[in-house]
Structure 1
Amino acid sequence: MSLEMEYDCPECDSTKFWKTAYMEIHLGKKTKWQCSDCGYGFIQINDDITTAEA
């Protein structure tokens, strides 16, 4: 898994997000991402569950 990904930030016009944390949990792989410009962050579990705004 990469340390960065492209994702449209809902807070600013940036598309660069950096991985700030990663761990294995009972649901799968939990990854925390944070926008490089504004600091907006979200959690993603196994590419299926996310706390990001739609």
Structure 2
Amino acid sequence: MADEMEHYCPNCEEEQTFYKTASMMVHLGRKTKWYCGECDYQMVTINGIESTATA
């Protein structure tokens, strides 16, 4: 898995580069934490699916 990805940032309201801060296997699959390089907005994905919870 790449250490960065392009994704829509709700704080910046545009596509930004997100950087991986952590990754681990959980019973649901691979959990990965990401942050926006511009505003530090954080999000979590599990198996590539974005979580709706606030990180």
Question: What TM-score do the two structures reach when normalised by structure 2?
Answer: 0.83
More strand by share: 2
- Unaligned residue ranges in structure 1 (runs of 5+): none
Query: SS at 1:7's partner residue?
Result: strand
Tell me which stretches of 4 or more aligned residues in structure 1 moved more than 4 Å.
none
Identity between Structure 1 and Structure 2 (%): 49
Rounded to whole Å, the distance in 2 between the matches of 1:52 and 1:25 is 17
Query: SS at 1:8's partner residue?
Result: strand
For residue 44 of structure 1, what is the amino acid of its counterpart?
Answer: T
User: Residues 49 and 15 from structure 1, CA distance in 2 versus in 1: closer, same or farther, beyond 3 angstroms?
Assistant: closer
